[in-house]
Chain A
Amino acid sequence: MSNAASTSSDYSQFRQTFFAESAEMLADMESKLERLTAHGLDREELDAVFRCVHSIKAGAGMFNYARLVDFAHGFEALLDRMRDGRMQIDTTVANLIIRAADVLSELVSAAQSERAVPTDVGVAVSEELSHLLSLGLSTSGLESGSDGPETPPLRRVEIRFSPRPGLLRHANEPLLVIRELGGLGEMTTVCDTSRLPGLETIDVEETYFAWTFELTTEASDSTIGEVFEFVADDAEISLTTLETFSSEPDDMAEDEAFGLWLEPSEVPSATVEVSATQLDAGSQPLHPLAPMPTKSASLSSIRVDLFRVDRLVNMVGELVISQAMLRQELSQLTHKTIDGLEALDTLTRDLQDCVMAIRMQPVRSVFARMPRLVREVASKLGKHVRLTMIGEQTELDKTVIEELADPLTHMIRNSVDHGIEMPDTRLAKGKSAEGSITLSAAHVGSNILIHLEDDGAGLNRERLYNKAVEKGVIAEGTKLSDEEIVDLIFAPGFSTAAFVSDVSGRGVGMDVVRRNIMKIGGRIQVSSVEGKGTRFTLIIPLTLAVLDGMLISVGAEKYILPLTSIIESFRPLPSQIRVLAGGGRVAHIRGDYVRLIALNRLFDVDSAIDDPTKGLIVLTETADGTRIGIVVDELIGQQQVVIKSLQQNYTPVLGISGATILGDGNVALILDIEQLGEIKEQNA
Chain B
Amino acid sequence: MNDVTQNYEETLNTIKRGGSDSHLMQFISFRVGTEDYAVDILAVREIKGWTRTTVLPNQPDYVRGVLNLRGAIVPVFDLKCRFGQGETEATEKHVVIIVSIAERLIGLLVDQVSDILSVQPDSVGPVPEMEPGRAQAFLEGIITVNDSMIVLLSLNSLFDSVILAGTEPAEQNAA
For the complex, give the distance between the alpha carbons of A661 and B152 in Å: 34
Contact A604 B58 (CB under 8 A): yes
User: Does A2 make an interface contact (CB < 8 A)?
Assistant: no
Selected contact of B74 from candidates A317, A649, A655, A656, CB within 8 Å: A649
Contact B73 A644 (CB under 8 A): yes
Residues of A within 8 A of B59 (CB): 653
Residues of A within 8 A of B104 (CB): 648-650
Contact A317 B71 (CB under 8 A): yes
User: Does A667 make an interface contact (CB < 8 A)?
Assistant: yes
Residues of A within 8 A of B167 (CB): 651
Residues of A within 8 A of B66 (CB): 646, 650, 659, 667
What is the predominant secondary structure among interface residues of chain A facing chain B? Answer: loop
Task: Name the CB-closest residue of A to B104.
Answer: A649
User: Does A557 make an interface contact (CB < 8 A)?
Assistant: yes
Task: Name the CB-closest residue of B to A662.
Answer: B68
Within 8 A of A (CB), among B137-171: 162-163, 166-167
Within 8 A of A (CB), among B38-80: 52-59, 65-68, 70-75
Task: Name the CB-closest residue of A to B67.
Answer: A667
Selected contact of B163 from candidates A315, A605, A651, A654, CB within 8 Å: A651
Task: Provide the B4-27 mask, 1 if CB < 8 A to any CB of A, else 0.
Answer: 000000000000000000000000
User: Does B28 make an interface contact (CB < 8 A)?
Assistant: no
| Most-contacted residue by chain A among B65, B66, B106, B167 (CB, 10 A) | B66
For the complex, give the distance between the alpha carbons of A665 and B74 in Å: 13
Task: Name the CB-closest residue of A to B52.
Answer: A666
Selected contact of A649 from candidates B57, B58, B70, B73, CB within 8 Å: B73
User: Does A652 make an interface contact (CB < 8 A)?
Assistant: yes
For the complex, give the distance between the alpha carbons of A679 and B151 in Å: 39
Size class of the contact patch on chain B: 20 to 34
Task: Name the CB-closest residue of B to A658.
Answer: B73
Contact B52 A651 (CB under 8 A): no
User: Does A645 make an interface contact (CB < 8 A)?
Assistant: yes
For the complex, give the distance between the alpha carbons of A648 and B71 in Å: 12
- The interface size of chain A toward B, counting residues with CB under 8 Å, comes to 31
User: Does A318 make an interface contact (CB < 8 A)?
Assistant: yes
Task: Provide the A362-393 mask, 1 if CB < 8 A to any CB of B, else 0.
Answer: 00000000000000000000000000000000
Selected contact of A646 from candidates B67, B70, B71, B73, CB within 8 Å: B73
Contact A318 B71 (CB under 8 A): yes
Task: Check A661/B163 contact, CB under 8 A, given A649-B106, A653-B59, A655-B57.
Answer: no
For the complex, give the distance between the alpha carbons of A649 and B72 in Å: 8
Residues of A within 8 A of B73 (CB): 644-646, 648-650, 659, 661, 667
Task: Check A661/B71 contact, CB under 8 A, given A603-B57, A653-B56.
Answer: yes
Task: Provide the B93-123 mask, 1 if CB < 8 A to any CB of A, else 0.
Answer: 0000000000011100000000000000000
Residues of A within 8 A of B70 (CB): 318
Task: Check A314/B71 contact, CB under 8 A, given A649-B104, A649-B106, A650-B163.
Answer: yes
For the complex, give the distance between the alpha carbons of A668 and B66 in Å: 9
Q: Return B172 CB to nearest CB of chain A, in Å.
A: 14
Task: Name the CB-closest residue of B to A655.
Answer: B57
Contact B57 A666 (CB under 8 A): no
User: Does A587 make an interface contact (CB < 8 A)?
Assistant: no
Q: Return A217 CB to nearest CB of chain B, in Å.
A: 61
Task: Name the CB-closest residue of B to A647.
Answer: B166
For the complex, give the distance between the alpha carbons of A665 and B55 in Å: 15
For the complex, give the distance between the alpha carbons of A654 and B162 in Å: 14
For the complex, give the distance between the alpha carbons of A314 and B67 in Å: 17
| Most-contacted residue by chain A among B52, B58, B104, B163 (CB, 10 A) | B58
Task: Provide the A314-355 mask, 1 if CB < 8 A to any CB of B, else 0.
Answer: 110110010000000000000000000000000000000000
Task: Name the CB-closest residue of B to A661.
Answer: B68
Task: Check A653/B58 contact, CB under 8 A, given A646-B66, A648-B104, A666-B52.
Answer: yes
For the complex, give the distance between the alpha carbons of A649 and B77 in Å: 12
User: Does A669 make an interface contact (CB < 8 A)?
Assistant: yes
Contact A656 B57 (CB under 8 A): yes
Selected contact of A667 from candidates B68, B105, B162, B163, CB within 8 Å: B68
For the complex, give the distance between the alpha carbons of A666 and B105 in Å: 18
Contact B166 A651 (CB under 8 A): yes
Task: Provide the A181-204 mask, 1 if CB < 8 A to any CB of B, else 0.
Answer: 000000000000000000000000
Within 8 A of B (CB), among A619-655: 644-646, 648-655
Residues of B within 8 A of A667 (CB): 53-54, 65-68, 73
For the complex, give the distance between the alpha carbons of A604 and B52 in Å: 18
Contact A644 B54 (CB under 8 A): no
Contact A649 B75 (CB under 8 A): yes
For the complex, give the distance between the alpha carbons of A651 and B73 in Å: 12
Q: Return B55 CB to nearest CB of chain A, in Å.
A: 6
Selected contact of A644 from candidates B65, B71, B105, B162, CB within 8 Å: B71
Residues of B within 8 A of A314 (CB): 71
Residues of B within 8 A of A649 (CB): 72-75, 104-106, 163
Q: Which 5 residue pairs across A and B have the least CB separation, nearest first? A: A603-B57, A667-B54, A318-B71, A651-B166, A650-B75
- 6 A-B Cβ contacts within 8 A? A644-B71, A644-B73, A650-B66, A650-B163, A651-B162, A666-B54
New A-B pairs, 18, CB < 8 Å, besides A649-B163, A661-B68, A661-B73: A557-B55, A603-B57, A605-B55, A646-B66, A648-B73, A648-B104, A650-B104, A650-B106, A652-B166, A653-B59, A655-B57, A656-B56, A667-B53, A667-B54, A667-B66, A667-B68, A679-B58, A682-B58
Residues of B within 8 A of A (CB): 52-59, 65-68, 70-75, 104-106, 162-163, 166-167
